[in-house]
Amino acid sequence: MTKKNILVLCTGNSCRSQMAHGYLRTQLKEKANVYSAGIETHGLNPGAVSIMKEDGIDISGHTSNNVDEYSDIPWHFIITVCDHAKENCPYIPSKTAIRLHHNFFDPSKVKGSNEEVHTAFLNARNEIKGYCEEFAEREFS
C-alpha cells in the first residue's frame, strides 16, 4: 500500500496545524506521510507544544515550515485549518489532492489568566483531535 501524503496548512504553522500534524502522524503511523506548513512561518507555539504533551504527543521537534518548501510533493490530501490560510494560500497544483477545510479556533490569540489561556488551548486541541480521528477513520479504515 502506497503511503498517502497529507499537508495540513495554516497561516503561521505554529499552533493549529502543528497539533493536527501531531495527531495525524500518531493516528496514521505508517499509512501516511504527514506534513504541516503555513503561508508564513511564526515558529512553534510553546502553548501548542505544552498542550500536546499533556495528551502524550511530543511535537517539540517540529519546525515551522513555509508551504513553498513542499512544492515537489504529490499531495493526496490538503487540509486547511483556518479561514485565513484557505483564502490566502498560494495555489498548490494537484489534480488528485482532496481538499478539506475546517476553521479551528485559534488559542494563540487568547489573552487572559494562565487558566484561561490553558483552557483555550485545551479546547482547540480537543476539537482538532476529534477532527483528526474522524478524518483517519473515514479516509484510512
- How would you write the pLDDT of the chain (141 residues) with one tens digit per residue? 689 999 999 989 999 999 999 999 999 999 999 999 998 899 999 999 999 999 999 999 999 999 999 989 999 999 999 988 878 766 676 778 999 999 999 999 999 999 999 999 999 999 999 999 999 999 998
15 is known as an active-site residue: no
Nearest to 48 by CA among 81, 13, 73: 13
Decide: pTM greater than 0.85: yes
10 in active site: yes
Domain boundaries, the chain: 4-140
Residue from 9, 10, 19, 120 carrying the catalytic annotation: 10
4-140 adopts what CATH topology? Rossmann fold (3.40.50)
> Per the structure block, which three cell numbers stand in for 35?
506534513
> Is residue 89 annotated as part of the catalytic site, yes or no?
yes
Angle between helical axes of 114-140 and 46-54 (0-180°, round to 10): 70
Of the residues 28, 37, 89, 136, only one is catalytic, namely: 89
Enumerate the β-bridge partners of residue 4. 32
Reference 75, options 90, 95, 59, 91; nearest CA is 95
Q: Which of 44, 59, 82, 124 is catalytic?
A: 82
